[in-house]
Amino acid sequence: MAGWQAKLDQKETLMSITRIDPEHRMSEAIIHNETVYYTSVPENLDDDAEAQTANALAVIDNILTRVGSDKSRILDATIFLVNLEDFPAMNRAWDAWVSPGNAPVRCTVQANLMNPKYKVEIKIIAAM
């Protein structure tokens, strides 16, 4: 097989949709066209905003490792924060976690979330 043929075949494989842990209501993560879609919620629901953010970010690390990417390849992050006054706490966890020199575009807005114990929810788009 010619080299260009192998590359095109690889490209077509990348165009397929890969679902990580698909459940009825939603998939945990999805990969398409070298791009990973994922939304992270914290698992430590009784903790404060800094700890919940650190946890949600660690969950992002886990899922990106599973798919062969990592936090240095995150393109875009949307952070939904329940309490405006938690912005500094969220930022402390973020700044301690972010890959230096490789930070994504980031947008943070206030929003109430579906679990009353969530203080933060983080939606990302990453590159494979």
Query: How far apart, in whole angstroms, are the C-alpha atoms of residue 33 and residue 127?
Result: 9
Q: Which stretch binds a second copy (CB under 8 A): 31-39, 43-51, 52-60?
A: 31-39
Query: How far apart, in whole angstroms, are the C-alpha atoms of residue 49 and residue 92?
Result: 10
- Residue 34 sits in the site that holds a second copy (CB under 8 A): yes
Query: How far apart, in whole angstroms, are the C-alpha atoms of residue 18 and residue 115?
Result: 28
Q: What is the nearest approach in angstroms of a second copy to the Cβ of residue 27?
A: 5
Query: What angle in degrees, to the nearest 10, is found between the helix axes of 49-67 and 87-97?
Result: 40
Cβ proximity to a second copy: between 13 and 112 the closer is 112
Closest CA to 60 of 35, 33, 82, 42: 42
Decide if 80 contacts 39 (C-beta within 8 A): no
Q: Looking at 35, 47, 58, 67, which residue binds a second copy (CB under 8 A)?
A: 35
- Residue 103 sits in the site that holds a second copy (CB under 8 A): yes
Decide if 61 contacts 22 (C-beta within 8 A): no
Cβ proximity to a second copy: between 30 and 58 the closer is 30
Q: Which of residues 49-78 bind a second copy (CB under 8 A)?
A: 73, 75-78
- Chain residues that interact with a second copy, rule: CB under 8 A: 2, 4-5, 7-8, 11, 15, 17, 19, 22-30, 32-35, 37-39, 73, 75-78, 80-81, 84, 87, 91, 94-95, 98, 100-114, 121, 123, 125, 127
